[in-house]
Amino acid sequence: MSNSSTSIADTFTYDYIIAGAGGAGLSLLHYLMNAPSLSEKSILVIDKSFNKTNDRTWCFWEKDTIIFNDLVVKHWETISIQATNFKKELPTTPYSYKMIQGIDFYNFILTAAKQNSNIHWRETTVLNLVPINLLSKEEGAKVEWEGGEAIGKYVFSSILPFQMNQLASAAAFSKSLHSFDAVNKYQTPFLWQHFKGRVVQYDQPVFNVKVATLMDFNVPQFGATAFMYQLPLNDKEALVEYTLFSDTILKNNEYDQVLDNYLNTHFPELTYTVLHEEIGAIPMTQIALSMYEAPIYSIGALGAAVKASTGYAFQFIQEQCKNIVMQLEKNKPIETKVHTTRHQFYDAVLLHILFYHKMEGAEIFKRIFAKNKAVTVFKFLSNTSSILEDIQIMRSLPTRIFLPAALRVFFGSR
């Protein structure tokens, strides 16, 4: 860390500033700490609170054991999809569907980073990020907070203009995006994946621990795509999450009502204890959420790591952060894009079909899982499928739905 020679008094310069220490900020920090050629770099990590709680459960699938394997608390090799008159269990091998608790992830990285004297910490709310030209002609960007600022040669931000676990502000943000979008002739779809989950505990065995229910569409749809997500931790405990893809967010008690009914219907006359709750909203869109330019780089949800058609982001964040560190090590220009253009096109088509209600979400996912192996779907959703596999997935949908949507996305019309 060196004191900058600019006119900005008391402004320190760091090699890297990480603004926002959540899923993406801490992943980036983890890969930076593990890059030997960058071990001398000074890093400032800023977050409005380092007092982390278990605010989210991250699930993802992978073939090998690459991503934070020691933190995986549970994994499943069978998934289930259910809809009206439909139930299918699919083996996932060679993939496993894995779960990491947010708090384990935060503690693991923060504990390691606190041992490192090159890493500096600032608990504050970031107000502004501004590119500057240092008097020394070095490029950099200034990060401002109340009563202070710092300069980073590179600044990596994951700070969204709203908080994903504060639904009211997410809803307000969505509204402002929609008014922006109203003047956008392409009407780029924007949906929220919003949800409330409970970790419930029964005093007798009720869950099949071997099967993760990715989607059970036998729940109120609210004119949207809605499903129950059920991940058994053991035969008495499970995360049960009511999830919707829609443009409006529900009231807290609306999620609760559906969760109450679901649990009471599936396990009648049995009482349960709620061990934990999580609530959130993830943007499903290809609208750019950030306009920053080098040397400010957007990462995580802000940096388009969320897969627009599914809301999954964790494994893409890992890919994005690993790539950034590789580029820094090789002194190459930073590229944060993680989704291939081909897969972005499929995401746009699926999002178009969902957003404009061209086909019920339940029907889309039912068809995709009914006609394909889990491994093919996982590859497709991880952007690693071949063109032949893509065609196979797309053929699961009726041509009369898929083709017009694909043409409309391709030609940029409604």
Ligand X SMILES: Cc1cc2nc3c(=O)[nH]c(=O)nc-3n(C[C@H](O)[C@H](O)[C@H](O)COP(=O)(O)OP(=O)(O)OC[C@H]3O[C@@H](n4cnc5c(N)ncnc54)[C@H](O)[C@@H]3O)c2cc1C
CB of 213 to ligand X, least distance (A): 14
Q: Which is nearer to ligand X, 103 or 401 (CB)?
A: 103
310 in helix, strand or coil? coil
Question: How far apart are alpha carbons 350 and 307 in whole angstroms?
Answer: 11
304 binds ligand X per the rule CB under 6 A: no
Given candidates 48, 178, 236, 373, which one binds ligand X under the rule CB under 6 A?
Answer: 48
Interhelix angle 102-114/23-33, rounded to 10 degrees, is 40
CB of 218 to ligand X, least distance (A): 21
Q: Which of 15, 13, 23, 30 has its CA nearest to residue 299? A: 23
Segment near ligand X (CB under 6 A); pick from 53-61, 345-353, 360-368, 396-404: 53-61
Site for ligand X in 384-403 (CB under 6 A): none
Given candidates 4, 17, 18, 25, which one binds ligand X under the rule CB under 6 A?
Answer: 25
Under a CB-based contact definition with an 8 Å cutoff, are residues 194 and 258 in contact?
A: no
CB of 172 to ligand X, least distance (A): 15
Question: How far apart are alpha carbons 207 and 192 in whole angstroms?
Answer: 29
Interhelix angle 387-394/374-381, rounded to 10 degrees, is 110
60 binds ligand X per the rule CB under 6 A: yes
Question: How far apart are alpha carbons 206 and 266 in whole angstroms?
Answer: 9
Site for ligand X in 205-264 (CB under 6 A): none
Question: How far apart are alpha carbons 160 and 64 in whole angstroms?
Answer: 31
Beta bridge pairs of residue 228: 216, 242
Q: Which is nearer to ligand X, 254 or 360 (CB)?
A: 254
21 binds ligand X per the rule CB under 6 A: yes
371 binds ligand X per the rule CB under 6 A: no
Given candidates 232, 295, 300, 361, which one binds ligand X under the rule CB under 6 A?
Answer: 300
Given candidates 31, 58, 217, 346, which one binds ligand X under the rule CB under 6 A?
Answer: 58
Q: Which is nearer to ligand X, 167 or 397 (CB)?
A: 167
CB of 33 to ligand X, least distance (A): 17
Question: How far apart are alpha carbons 200 and 380 in whole angstroms?
Answer: 32
Q: Which of 334, 362, 349 has its CA nearest to residue 405? A: 349
282 binds ligand X per the rule CB under 6 A: yes
CB of 241 to ligand X, least distance (A): 9
164 binds ligand X per the rule CB under 6 A: yes
Q: Encode burial over 58-94: b for 16+ CB neighbours within 10 A, e otherwise.
A: bbbbbeeeebbeebbebbbbbbbbbbeeeeeebebee
Under a CB-based contact definition with an 8 Å cutoff, are residues 213 and 229 in contact?
A: yes
377 binds ligand X per the rule CB under 6 A: no
283 binds ligand X per the rule CB under 6 A: no
Given candidates 18, 33, 45, 46, which one binds ligand X under the rule CB under 6 A?
Answer: 46
Under a CB-based contact definition with an 8 Å cutoff, are residues 349 and 409 in contact?
A: yes
Question: How far apart are alpha carbons 238 and 256 in whole angstroms?
Answer: 16
> Judged by CB under 6 A, how many residues of this single chain contact ligand X?
31
Binding mask 256-275 for ligand X (x = CB under 6 A): --------------------
Site for ligand X in 66-125 (CB under 6 A): 125
Segment near ligand X (CB under 6 A); pick from 9-17, 58-66, 179-187, 242-250: 58-66
162 in helix, strand or coil? coil
Which spans of this chain sit near ligand X (rule: CB under 6 A)? 20-25, 46-49, 56-60, 125-126, 158-159, 164-165, 278, 280, 282, 300-302, 312-314, 317
